Each structure stands twice: as C-alpha cells, then as structure tokens.
Amino acid sequence: MSILIQCPACSAPLGNISRDSTLQVICASCCYRFGAVYGSVTRRESEVKPVQRRIPNLPKRHRRHYEFQIQIPSGPEILQCSSSGEADQIPAFEGDLVSCLYTLRGERLEEMISVTNPITGNIYRLASPGSTAVRTAIGWGLLSSVPMLLVLLPNGVEFPIALLASASSIPVVSIWVARLKSPKIRLDPDQKLRLAAEQQLFGEKIELEQRVEELQRKLTTNQARLNQLESLNQKMVEVGADLYAQRIERVSRAIAILDQQLSQDQQLIDQYARTIKMIEIELETSRAVEAIPNAENFMGMIFDRLAELKTIDQKTQQLRAQVEADETVRSLQP
Ligand SMILES: [Zn+2]
C-alpha cells in the first residue's frame, strides 16, 4: 500500500510513498523541501523540558520532546520533534505503522509537520511549514525592542514615545530573521519549471487514477446488472417468449444500453490507463535526467490527450443518465 504525500501548505499532490521507504520532494509552488518516512515505530522516547525564555520573568512554559525510531530496510530513521505543553500527544507507539512528514533544511529534519497512522487514518499535526522560523522571528523581533527601550527611557524620552520607537523595530527584525531562518529553498528558473511540470503531471495522474477507480466500480455494478437481466431474459424466453413479450422487450432495451455503457466505460478505462502510463514514463524520465525533454511538445501532447478523453468522458454522461433513468435497470438496484 502506498500513501499520497500532499504539500501541507498548498495541498498539491507531490508524490507517493511505499511502506518501509523514505521520500524527498519539493513543492514547486511553496519552495519547501519535504521528507517523509513510512514504516513501523521500533523505539519511542519522550520527555518534558522547560522552554528557555529570552526575556526573564515570563511565565514558565514546557515542551514535550520526542524521538522516534522507524525501521526501514536501509536502516533505522531517527526523527526528533516536540509539541507544546507537557501532555504526551502524539499517538504513535512502538509497533505502530506510521508515516511522518517533515520539512528539510538540506538533508536535516527542520520541522516535523505531521504523524499519520495510515491504518486508523488518525493524523496528528504538529506544525505548518515554516512556523518555527516565524515563531523564532517574532521572538527576536520582540527581544530587539528591549535594548532601544532601555536606551531611550533613561535619556528622558517619554514612555509612550519610547515604546512606539522601540516597537517599530519589531516588524523589521522579525521579517529579517524570518527570511534568514525560513526553510524555503531557492530554485533556479529551469528547476522551478521542471518541478512545476512534474507536479502538474503528477496531479493529473492522481486525478486519472481516481477516475479509473470510479469507472471500475461502475463497471462492476453494471456488469452485475447485465448478468442479472440476461439471466432473467433467458428464463422468460424459456417459459414462453409470447407470454412475456412486453417484458422481454423492456429487458432487452435495458440490456442494450447497459452493454453500450459497459463497452464505453471499458474503452475509457483503457485510454486513461494508457495515459497514466505515458505520464509515468515522462515523470521517470524527467526525474532521471532532471529535465523534461521537449517539455512544451510533450506537455502539449499529454494535455491534448487528457482534454480529448475528458470530453469523451463527459459525453458518456448522457448514456449514464439514460442507464440510471431506465425503469428496468432501476428496479435492479438494492
Ligand atoms: Zn505547496
């Protein structure tokens, strides 16, 4: 079973991660580099530590620090993170299967974003990308106002004016520190173009896979309905075609439209599956050589094909409506 990794900032689908493996991906829109690991927790430790305050006399605060060891074939992955307060909040224990998503600074874990249990579907969110940098920046901004206040007040500047003057340094210092500490990476234009193209193709692939699953479900339902009607038709013919003439006509009409629907859905599934494979080939090529060959021609061809298939898919909606409206077919629904 693989899990879809989406950017926690913009929700763009970024990649799939298989069990017992790691993944590194970059969101072309947000410029964060993410790491993910998916496997069993083999060790878990946690302890509460007081938060060191830069400004004295502030109320005491605590954070709980965690260390998880997740075993994958290439060796154990050690992940450290913390949550605010003393409570033990991350529901991931030894023996649990989890997927962890974090931002990376270079190869190092910058900030744990979420811990997910794929079996229960429980997601524990620790932070949003870049939130540690923002917190640090605000802290430094507030701290920067203190020295100015200490200089202005003894020199006879009135308190409201001194406060206003020192407060003016907060946004300047905060923005500067936030830029300095931000885990966002700088992408050159070619890299950004390639990643954006890959991200767009991957998004289309996910959409197509979901559509294929949906069509497969419809296909199974309609095949069962068709079998049921064919069996009914045969029974009526065996007993007496004249006796059941009107019903046989209605059932035969329903069989014909179901048959047509099944054939169209199968064709669509085949075409979508072929397009998914084409996308996979281009994604693998792009990642291997770090460039999309003839990017414009390729992208144009893929998207023309997708547009064509989506139009065909929409046209088949009419037939689907006809199938669902057919009284004989409707009477078969549970
Ligand atoms: Zn993003």
Give the confidence band of 61 by pLDDT, cuts at 50, 70, 90: confident
- For residue 196, report the distance from its CA to the centre of ligand 1, in Å: 11
Q: Identify the pLDDT of residue 178.
A: 76
- For residue 293, report the distance from its CA to the centre of ligand 1, in Å: 24
Give the confidence band of 27 by pLDDT, cuts at 50, 70, 90: very high
The full 3-state SS of the chain, as one line of letters, equals: CEEEEECCCCCCEEEEEECCEEEEEECCCCCCEEEEEEEEEEEEEEEEEECCCCCCCCCCCEEEEEEEEEEECCEEEEEEEEEECCCCCCCCCCCCEEEEEEEEECCEEEEEEEEEECCCCEEEECCCCCHHHHHHHHHHHHHHHHHHHHHHHHHCCCHHHHHHHHHCHHHHHHHHHHHHHCCCCCCCHHHHHHHHHHHHHHHHHHHHHHHHHHHHHHHHHHHHHHHHHHHHHHHHHHHHCCCCHHHHHHHHHHHHHHHHHHHHHHHHHHHHHHHHHHHHHHHHHHHHHCCCCCHHHHHHHHHHHHHHHHHHHHHHHHHHHHHHHCHHHHCCCC
% of the chain surpassing 90 pLDDT: 42
Decide: 112 and 34 in contact? Cβ < 8 Å: no
Q: Which two tokens stand for residue 7?
A: 């950017």
Give the confidence band of 334 by pLDDT, cuts at 50, 70, 90: very low
Cα–Cα dist 176/276, whole Å: 44
Q: What is the DSSP letter of 273?
A: H
- For residue 279, report the distance from its CA to the centre of ligand 1, in Å: 21
- For residue 122, report the distance from its CA to the centre of ligand 1, in Å: 22
- For residue 33, report the distance from its CA to the centre of ligand 1, in Å: 9
- For residue 130, report the distance from its CA to the centre of ligand 1, in Å: 12
Average pLDDT, the chain: 86
Q: Which amino acid is at 273?
A: A
- pLDDT tens-digit map of 96-151: 999 999 999 888 898 999 999 988 888 999 999 988 877 777 777 777 777 777 77
Is the pLDDT reported for residue 34 higher than 80?
yes
Decide: 125 and 99 in contact? Cβ < 8 Å: no
- For residue 128, report the distance from its CA to the centre of ligand 1, in Å: 11
- For residue 311, report the distance from its CA to the centre of ligand 1, in Å: 29
Q: Which two tokens stand for residue 79?
A: 């992940």
- For residue 305, report the distance from its CA to the centre of ligand 1, in Å: 26
H-run or E-run covering 99: strand 97-105
Cα–Cα dist 282/295, whole Å: 10
- For residue 28, report the distance from its CA to the centre of ligand 1, in Å: 7
Give the confidence band of 296 by pLDDT, cuts at 50, 70, 90: low
Burial bucket for residue 299 (CB in 10 Å: 0-12, 13-18, 19+): middle
- For residue 195, report the distance from its CA to the centre of ligand 1, in Å: 11
Cα–Cα dist 228/236, whole Å: 12
Highest mean pLDDT among 127-136, 157-166, 232-241: 232-241
Whole-model pTM: value is 0.74
Q: What is the mean pLDDT of residues 52-60?
A: 73
- For residue 178, report the distance from its CA to the centre of ligand 1, in Å: 18
- For residue 320, report the distance from its CA to the centre of ligand 1, in Å: 36
Residues contacting residue 251 through CB under 8 Å, at least 6 positions apart: 229, 232, 233, 236, 328
Q: Identify the pLDDT of residue 259.
A: 92
Q: Ligand 1 (ion): which residues have CB within 5 A?
A: 7, 9-10, 27, 29-30
- For residue 12, report the distance from its CA to the centre of ligand 1, in Å: 6
- For residue 60, report the distance from its CA to the centre of ligand 1, in Å: 35
Decide: 34 and 51 in contact? Cβ < 8 Å: no
- For residue 210, report the distance from its CA to the centre of ligand 1, in Å: 21
- For residue 274, report the distance from its CA to the centre of ligand 1, in Å: 28
Q: Identify the pLDDT of residue 181.
A: 77
Backbone phi, then psi, for 71, in 5-degree steps? -85, 125
